[in-house]
């Protein structure tokens, strides 16, 4: 009985670990295409190299539509969207 429980736990752990894939780094071109598609400027979407699962939107007061667009793309690609409001000097 105990051996069966251990085997079931090991199988479950292996199954779950197979579902999680490490985040891939997206190219600057890919991120810029998403940014433009969401109504943002080039370079306003950044993927953190140290924390690959983070997708940073650096924009001053993005609209709700822009936030939703970025959030949905990040979610589809296994990333966590982080919104940073920043005033960029002109």
Residue 63's domain comprises 23-90
| Residue 14 in domain | no
Q: Tens place of pLDDT for every residue, the chain, 90 residues?
A: 465 555 555 565 555 444 555 678 999 999 999 999 999 999 999 998 889 999 999 988 899 999 999 999 999 999 999 998 877 676
Enter the pTM of the model. Answer: 0.71
| Residue 85 in domain | yes
Backbone angles phi, psi at 19, to 5 degrees: -80, -25
Number of domains present in the structure of the chain: 1
| Residue 53 in domain | yes
Among 72, 13, 4, residue whose Cα is nearest residue 55:
72
| Residue 27 in domain | yes
pLDDT value of residue 21:
59
pLDDT value of residue 81:
95
| Residue 10 in domain | no
The Cα–Cα gap between 38 and 40 comes to: 6
pLDDT value of residue 22:
66
pLDDT value of residue 79:
95
Residue 67: how many CB atoms within 10 A of its CB? 15
Beta-strand relationship, 80-84 and 45-47: unpaired
29: which 2 tokens? 């071109």
């Amino acid at each position: 009985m105990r051996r069966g429980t251990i085997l079931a736990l090991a199988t479950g752990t292996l199954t779950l670990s197979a579902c999680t894939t490490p985040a891939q780094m997206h190219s600057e071109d890919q991120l810029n295409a998403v940014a433009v598609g969401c109504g943002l400027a080039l370079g306003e979407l950044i993927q953190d190299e140290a924390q690959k699962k983070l997708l940073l939107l650096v924009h001053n007061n993005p609209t709700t539509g822009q936030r939703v667009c970025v959030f949905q793309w990040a979610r589809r690609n296994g990333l966590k969207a982080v919104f940073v409001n920043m005033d960029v000097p002109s």
